[in-house]
Structure 1
Amino acid sequence: MTIRVVLADDHPVTRAGIRAILEKASDIQVVGEAKDGVGAQQLAAELRPDVLLLDLVMPGPRPAEIARWVRAHCPETETLILTAHDRDVYLADVVEAGTAGFLTKEEAGEALVEAIRRAARGEVLFTREQLARARQWREEVGQRWGSLTAREREVLALVTDGKSNREIAETLVIGEHTVETHVGNLLGKLGVASRAEAVAWVWRHGLAEEMGLCGGNPPDENGEFP
C-alpha cells in the first residue's frame, strides 16, 4: 500500500528537502504541496491524502484549526505536525486538536518516514512526556490565558510590546483610565504583580508569537528588554 502525503510548509527549500527524504521511501508518495494553511485545507479536500504533514508556523489558519477542519471534512486523513518550535503552548494546542503527533524538524529523516507510516496506520505518536507537558501547560497556563477577555489580550499584547498606558489608549481608542482597569484585571488573572512580570510571563510560556509579537528579543528575568 502506498501512503499518500500532502506536505504544507511556507518555505520552498524546506518542502523540497522533506519531499526528497520522503520519496526515498518506496511506500510513500508526496501527492501535493501547499505553502499556507488555506492551501493545505484545499489539497486535503481535493486529494484526500492518508497523511497531511503540516509546518507549525505558516500563513493562514493555525495547524490546530486545520486539524479540526480535516477531522470534520476528511476523516480518512491523519494530520502530523513538523516544527522547529518545540514549545508547550503549541504542543498543547495540537494535542487538543486531535493530531497524530508533533515532531521537530531535527527528527526529519528515517524518524519522519516511520512517523508517517505510523500515522497512516492510525497510531498516536505523542510520547508520555509530550502529553504530560501539554497537560501541565493547560493546567498551569492555559486556564489563566483562557480567562482573559479579547480586550485584555489586546492590552496585554501592547504591554508586551512596550507600550505605555497612554499609547495603548490611543491605539485602541479608549480612555487611559479604562486601560488602567484592563491592566489591573489582567495582572490579577495572570497572578502577577507588575507589568514587567506580565511581560516575562508571556515570553516564558511562548505566548508572544500567539499574539503576533514575533520580532525582537525576550526580556530578562526582571522583565527588562536587552
Structure 2
Amino acid sequence: MNFQPLRVFLADDHPIVLIGARAALEQSRTATIIGEARSTDEVIRELSRLPCDVLVTDFTMPGGELDDGIGYLRVVRETHPALPVVVMTMMANPGIMEQILSLGVLGLVDKADDLELLPLAVRSAVVGRLFVSKGLRDLLSIHRTSGGTQDKLSPREMEVVRLLAAGLGVNQIAEKFGKSIKTVSRQKMQAMRKLGLANNVELYQYARENGMII
C-alpha cells in the first residue's frame, strides 16, 4: 500500500527554522510542504485558500496583526476547527503551554530539540494523539505536580501579564481584546496582587524569570 504524504503548511519567522523543519519533514517522507509563511497574517490568509492536513507553526511571529501567540492560535482554531496544529517554540513557561494545549493544539515541539521530532509530532497530530517533546513534557509534569504560582491567575490575567511584559500598554491591550481600559487595568492589578508584585519592574522580572517573555 502506497503511503500518501501529509500536506503540511509550515510557518516561522526565522528562515533557518523553516529550512530545518522542511528538511526534517520531507526527508522522513512524512509530508509534502504545500505552503510557508513568516507571519501570522500570512498563515490566516493562506490557510483560507490552501487545504492542508496539518499546520506546523511557530508560537509567536511578530509583525502581523495577530502578534500574540494565544490570540493567533485562537483565530486558527475558530477559522479551522478541525485542523491539527503542531506548535514549535522556545518558551519555557508551563502556564502558557497549558493555555496552548487547552486550545486543542496536538503537538508541542521544543526548538532546542532535534527537529527530527517533527515527523513524529505531525503523524501523532493527524490521528488525534498528543505529542509533547521530552523537555517540555518534563516542565509540564513538574508544574502540574507542584501547582505553580501561575495557577492563581485566570487565562485572561496571564495574557495581560505576558503582554505588559512584552511592552504593550494597558490601552493597547484593551484595544487588542476589545475591552475597556478599566477592565484591563483591573485584570492587571488582580494579577499583580495574586503574584505578590508591587510594580511594573517586578512584573517584568517575574515574566522574564518564568519564561513568559519569548
Scaled by the length of structure 2, the TM-score of the pair is 0.68
CA contact (8 A) 1:80 1:102 kept: yes
Out of 5, 17, 22, which is 2:8 matched to?
A: 5
1:54 paired with 2:54, answer no
Q: CA RMSD in A?
A: 3.8
Q: Identify the residue that residue 100 of structure 1 maps to in structure 2.
A: 106
Q: State the secondary structure of the residue aligned to 1:54.
A: strand
Out of 181, 188, 205, which is 2:210 matched to?
A: 205
Q: Which amino acid aligns with 1:53?
A: V
> 2 CA distance for matches of 1:131 and 1:113?
22
Out of 21, 24, 46, which is 2:24 matched to?
A: 21
Q: Identify the residue that residue 224 of structure 1 maps to in structure 2.
A: none
Out of 177, 190, 215, which is 2:195 matched to?
A: 190
CA contact (8 A) 2:161 2:207 kept: no
Scaled by the length of structure 1, the TM-score of the pair is 0.65
1:76 paired with 2:78, answer no
1:31 paired with 2:37, answer no
Q: Identify the residue that residue 180 of structure 2 maps to in structure 1.
A: none
Residues 12-59 of structure 1: CA deviation (Å, up to 9, x unaligned): 222122112211122310000000111112222221211111112212
> 2 CA distance for matches of 1:110 and 1:153?
34
1:86 paired with 2:83, answer no
Structure 1 gaps, min length 5:
162-181, 210-226
Q: State the secondary structure of the residue aligned to 2:131.
A: coil
Q: Which amino acid aligns with 1:140?
A: T
Q: Identify the residue that residue 127 of structure 2 maps to in structure 1.
A: 121
Q: Identify the residue that residue 178 of structure 1 maps to in structure 2.
A: none
Max Rg structure = 1
Compared with structure 1, are the counterparts of its residues 133 and 80 closer, same or farther at alpha carbon in structure 2 (3 Å cutoff)? farther
Structure 2 gaps, min length 5:
168-186
Tell me the percent identity: 26
